[in-house]
Chains A and B, each alone.
Chain A
Amino acid sequence: MDERVQKRLEALKKDAAAGGYKLNPDEGFVADLAEGLVTNADRYGLEICPCRLIDGAPEENMDIVCPCVYRDDDLAEYGACFCALYVADGVPTKQVPERRPPREARKAVTEKTEPSGAPAAALKYPVYRCTVCGYLCANTNPPRVCPICKAKAERFERFM
Chain B
Amino acid sequence: MAQFIEIDGRDIGEIRIYALSTCGWCKKTKNFFNENKIKYAYIDVDRLDPNETEPVRKEQLKHNPAGSFPTIVVDGAAIIGYDEEKLAELVRR
Contact = CB atoms under 8 A, between A and B. Distances in A.
Contact of B22 (A39, A94, A98): A39
A37 B20 CA distance: 12
Interface string B53-82: 000010000000111110000000000111
Contacts of B65: 102
Contacts of A83: 23-25
A102 to B, nearest CB: 7
B81 A97 contact: yes
A77 to B, nearest CB: 15
Contacts of B66: 97-98, 102
B83 A95 contact: yes
A15 interface: no
Given A39-B22, A40-B22, A32 B69 contact: no
A40 B69 CA distance: 16
A13 B85 CA distance: 30
Interface stretch (A45-53, A107-115, A117-125): A45-53
Interface residues of B, number: 23
A53 B85 contact: no
A53 B45 contact: yes
A62 interface: no
A87 interface: no
Interface in A61-108: 83-85, 93-98, 102
A17 to B, nearest CB: 20
B23 A94 contact: no
A135 interface: no
A50 B81 contact: no
Given A53-B45, A102-B65, A102-B66, A29 B80 contact: no
A95 B67 contact: no
A33 interface: yes
A94 B82 contact: yes
Contacts of B15: none
Given A51-B20, A53-B67, A102-B65, A32 B27 contact: yes
